[in-house]
Each structure stands twice: as C-alpha cells, then as structure tokens.
C-alpha cells in the first residue's frame, strides 16, 4: 500500500508518497505567499494552503496506482491560529507561529495570570508564538471577528478538516496552544475561561496515529482517489519530524534545522522543566517530549546568503570556511525574536566582534555557529535536568550542509546521526499514516523498521574544546545587550 505525508510548512507544503517498506515514491512541493502586514506580524491565508495541497496531491499521485493509496497524515507548522465562522469560512488570515504581535497578551498571561498557574494548567508558560495569546489578541483588537468564531484550529488541522470533514487535532500540536492540559491530554477548563472560548469551539483530540475519518466524497472525486483513503490525525511539525527520524521511545534526541530550529528529546514520562525554559509537550508516539525551539535557524543562513550576500550557492560559500573554533566573529540568531530558552520577542540578530580583517567567510561562519550556539542554550537546560544526551539525529534543510552538521557535533560535543531520509515531517506524516492504517502496530515499530542511519559525525576533541571556550563567550552576549534590544 501507499501512504501520503503532508508537511505543511511556512513557505511551502511538501507532499511525500511512501511505500509500505519506507521507500519514497514521489515528492512534490508547492509554495504559497507569506504576508507581513506590520513589523513583527506574520500571516498566511489558509485557502492558499488548501489550494496548494489539492494541486500537490494531484501531482503527487499522477503516476501511481491510486487504488493503493491507503492513508494520508500530516506534519504541520505549529501554533498558528485559524478561525472559522458558522459557515466554515475563514474569518481572517491565519496568525502564524513566528508572529510577534502578542507581547501584551503574553505578558498578561505570564505576569497577571502567572507562570505557575499556566504551568499547572498546561505544563508550559506563554510565548508570543503560542495560540492562546493570539486568541486574546483577536478578542481585544478584532472583537467582531472574535464574536464570529465557531471553530478554532491549527494549520494542519484545517487541511484535515477540508479532507475529511472531521474537526480534529492531535495531542502533540494541541500541546503548543496553551489551551491544552498536556499531562492529562485534554483541554484546560481554566485556560478556556481565561481566553473566553468554549469546548465546542475547540477540536476533538486524537493521538497522532489515530484515524479521524476518510476522504469526503467530493474531495475523493476531485483528487481521483478512493473514498476509503483514511485521514490520520498527524502531528505538529517537530513531533512528526521526530517520528521521521526515529526519535521515539525514551531518551532519544533530534535536532531540526528548518526555518525554525529545535532540539527535541523524547521521554516515556511526563516532566516539566522548573523554569519552563523548554516546552513540555505530548509526543506523536503516545508519550511525551521536551523541546527547545529557536525562531530563526536555517532561515538565518537563507537571509544572510540570499538577501545580504546575494549568493544562492550555499555550498560554494561554505567551502571557504576551514578553521572551526577559531572565529572571533559572533552572531546572535534572533531575527524574529527568540523563544527557547530566552522567551524574548524583543531580541534581535546581532553581529559582534567585527574588525578590519573580518572576511565574508568569517561572517558566514558566525551565522552557522550562532545557530549552533543557540541550540546549545536549550541543550544546556536539558543537561541541568540530568538528561545525558550522547547523540542526536538531525533533519531539516540546514542539515544537508556537511559543514553545519560538523559545527553542531562539535559545539554540542555529541555524535550527530544523519538518516537515509532527510524529509523530516513529511516522512513522519507518511509513517503515522502507515500506523493508522495498520501497516505497523506502533509508531516505535514503524520507526525501528523504516528509519536507517547512513552517517555519523563524531566530535573532534580539539575542535570541541575550542567551541567550548567560544560558547562561554557567546553565552555572555545576550545578557549584556538584552536591555538595549528593548530600547531599539
């Protein structure tokens, strides 16, 4: 049988067709626009996602035996607020995960409601990117739109709804809304009251590999697929990427270098970092995970290369970088503010240490290293909890750079495993579809069978020692300039 994974990203949707043995039969990508109506705002039109998904599914399955398509599932950008009215029409553009407009609402939740209460209700504190502050923002700034809300959903769940007609979400994606009781896997009555929403406005909750329905007749007809194709709940992009890299079960780690960057640690036990520096979320394997998320990761390099340097050949630019651990230029990768572990929407990207002999290669290297150092910030929080990580999988567009993988291995001083498929959320979505359709009994069984390590980067003691010294200096920069960010 064949399984489809839909990775609903920030810049494009990537659709993946996977055979039962894990072989990728086809991949299709469709871009859609991203809008910045005001500084710090970030929006998309859900209708654009749906158009791209429909076109992508047709192209993805054009040459396959469509009768063999058994299931569709998802990995999707998290936290985005999608609201529908009683006619199931989108009320306003989706407010995305990297939107920073909710500083006032986030401060209200953390300081007035209180971080202790939020952590008790949801296992997390408020961040500007989370969904609940967005709901409060709409309530305060667009009361007419707020009054029309019939359904509140997340980006990938909008696609699931359009495909199946089922108003659903999964536990991993719901965990990032600040409306969800992560420990007990249910909506938080307290948070619903705080945000002024009802249980009827929130979706039915499913585990990630649960079947939520089948294709609606009209959708199946348009796609020329059987109506029996199952739609499986899916997961937030990071949990789906973790499935796609085999980061399931207790004590596994995955680093994702996508538009955002994450360090993802799976656990069979529920646990909360006492300072809430890491997110405590439900995982797509039925258990839990801790996650540190930085808002700008591979997007930092894309910004630097495309918009500043004007060079699209990333590998060529990186070939000039030869001396690791010896760069005296530092870069703070906070182009969209920062989430873990700083929780500071005012933070900004910064170069420091420039001299007359600084080269373009030094600055390119600083960008790559700055992202690695910021990932280590979350890594250090995990260490403080007694979590001993000796190796990690890696995925995302940035992970395709051998140099960046080497930098991360040495900055973290751990082994970095590269897997055969680097498709992350899309592959994880297809794997969840295969579990939902009964091809594999559990997510862990699917991961053990399908995910294969093809290369391991070992840290080099001499380079790792140099990076240890560099990281200690990097860690002093943000606290030194933190108040200046608020002023500028």
SS3 content of the chain, % helix, strand, coil (to 5): 40, 25, 35
At 272, the pLDDT band (50, 70, 90 cuts) reads: confident
Residue 36, pLDDT above cutoff 80:
yes
**What is d(CA 378, CA 187) in angstroms, rounded to the nearest whole number?**
27
pTM of the model: 0.87
Cross-strand bridge partners of residue 213: 231
Instruction: Please tell me the predicted confidence (pLDDT) of residue 291.
Output: 92
The length of the chain is 488
Residue 340, pLDDT above cutoff 80:
yes
Cβ-in-10-Å burial (0-12, 13-18, 19+) of 361 comes to middle
Catalytic machinery residues: 237
The distance in angstroms from the start CA to the end CA of the chain is 56
Question: Mean pLDDT across the stretch 443-460?
Answer: 96
pLDDT tens track for 58-113: 999 999 999 999 999 999 999 999 999 999 999 999 999 989 899 999 999 999 99
Domain boundaries of the chain, sorted by first residue:
2-238, 249-423+458-488
Among residues of the chain, what percentage have pLDDT more than 90? Answer: 89
Question: Mean pLDDT across the stretch 421-440?
Answer: 93
Instruction: Please tell me the predicted confidence (pLDDT) of residue 276.
Output: 87
Residue 244, pLDDT above cutoff 90:
yes
**What is d(CA 285, CA 282) in angstroms, rounded to the nearest whole number?**
9
**What is d(CA 224, CA 204) in angstroms, rounded to the nearest whole number?**
28
> Domain 249-423+458-488 is of which CATH architecture?
2-Layer Sandwich (3.30)
At 260, the pLDDT band (50, 70, 90 cuts) reads: confident
Instruction: Please tell me the predicted confidence (pLDDT) of residue 372.
Output: 98
> How many alpha carbons lie under 13 Å from residue 480 in its C-beta half-sphere?
8
How many C-beta atoms surround the C-beta of residue 220 within 10 A?
17
Regarding the domain with residue range 2-238, which homologous superfamily does it belong to in the CATH classification? Answer: ATPase, nucleotide binding domain (3.30.420.40)
Same fold, 2-238 and 249-423+458-488: yes
Find out whether 168 and 233 touch, Cβ atoms under 8 Å: yes
Instruction: Please tell me the predicted confidence (pLDDT) of residue 345.
Output: 86
Q: What is the residue-wise DSSP string for 232-272?
A: E--EEHHHHHHHHTT--STT-EEEEESSSEEEEEEESS---
pLDDT tens track for 143-168: 999 999 999 999 999 999 999 999 99
Residue 273, pLDDT above cutoff 90:
no
Find out whether 61 and 69 touch, Cβ atoms under 8 Å: yes
Instruction: Please tell me the predicted confidence (pLDDT) of residue 424.
Output: 80
Q: Is 78 annotated as a binding residue?
A: yes
Q: What is the mean pLDDT of the chain?
A: 95
Any residues with CB less than 8 A from the CB of 156 and at least 6 apart, and which?
6, 8, 74, 75, 76, 77, 173, 234, 236
């Amino acid at each position: 049988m064949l399984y489809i994974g839909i990775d609903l990203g920030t810049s494009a949707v990537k659709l993946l067709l996977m055979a039962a043995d894990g072989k990728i039969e086809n991949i299709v990508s469709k871009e859609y626009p991203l809008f910045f109506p005001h500084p710090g705002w970030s929006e998309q039109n859900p209708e654009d996602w749906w158009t791209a998904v429909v076109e992508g599914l047709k192209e993805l399955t054009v040459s396959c035996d469509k009768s063999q398509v058994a299931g569709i599932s998802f990995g999707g950008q998290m936290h985005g607020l999608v609201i529908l009215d009683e006619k199931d029409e989108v009320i306003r553009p989706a407010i995305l995960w990297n939107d920073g407009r909710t500083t006032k609402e986030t401060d209200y939740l953390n300081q007035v409601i209180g971080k202790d209460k939020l952590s008790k209700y949801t296992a997390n504190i408020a961040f500007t990117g989370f969904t609940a502050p967005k709901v409060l923002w709409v309530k305060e700034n667009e009361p007419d739109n707020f009054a029309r809300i019939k359904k509140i959903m997340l980006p990938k769940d909008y696609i699931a709804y359009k495909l199946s007609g089922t108003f659903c979400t999964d536990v991993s994606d719901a965990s990032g809304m600040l409306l969800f009781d992560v420990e007990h896997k249910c909506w938080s009555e307290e948070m619903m009251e705080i945000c002024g929403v009802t249980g009827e406005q929130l979706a039915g909750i499913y585990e990630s590999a649960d079947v939520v329905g089948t294709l609606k007749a009209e959708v199946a007809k348009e796609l020329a697929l059987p109506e029996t194709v199952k739609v499986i709940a899916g997961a937030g992009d990071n949990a789906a990427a973790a499935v796609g890299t085999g980061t399931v079960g207790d004590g596994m780690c995955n680093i994702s270098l996508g538009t955002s960057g994450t360090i993802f640690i799976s656990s069979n036990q529920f646990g909360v970092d006492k300072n809430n520096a890491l997110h405590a979320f439900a995982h797509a394997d039925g258990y839990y995970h801790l996650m540190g998320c930085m808002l700008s990761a591979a997007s930092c390099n894309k910004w630097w290369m495309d918009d500043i340097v004007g060079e699209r050949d990333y590998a060529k630019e990186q070939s000039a970088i030869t001396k690791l651990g010896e760069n005296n230029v530092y870069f703070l990768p906070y182009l969209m503010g920062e989430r873990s572990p700083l929780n500071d929407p005012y933070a900004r990207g910064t170069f420091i240490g420039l001299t007359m002999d600084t080269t373009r290669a030094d600055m390119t290297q600083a960008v790559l290293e700055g992202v690695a150092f910021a990932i280590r910030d979350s890594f250090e929080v995990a260490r403080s909890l007694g979590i001993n990580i000796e190796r990690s999988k890696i995925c995302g567009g940035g992970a395709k750079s051998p140099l960046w993988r080497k930098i991360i291995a040495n900055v973290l001083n751990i082994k970095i495993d590269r897997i055969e498929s680097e498709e992350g959320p899309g592959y994880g979505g297809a794997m969840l579809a295969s579990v939902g359709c009964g091809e594999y009994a559990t997510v862990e069984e699917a991961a053990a069978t399908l995910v294969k390590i093809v290369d391991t980067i070992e840290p080099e003691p001499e380079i790792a020692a140099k990076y240890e010294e560099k990281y200690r200096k990097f860690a002093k920069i943000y606290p030194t300039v933190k108040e200046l960010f608020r002023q500028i």
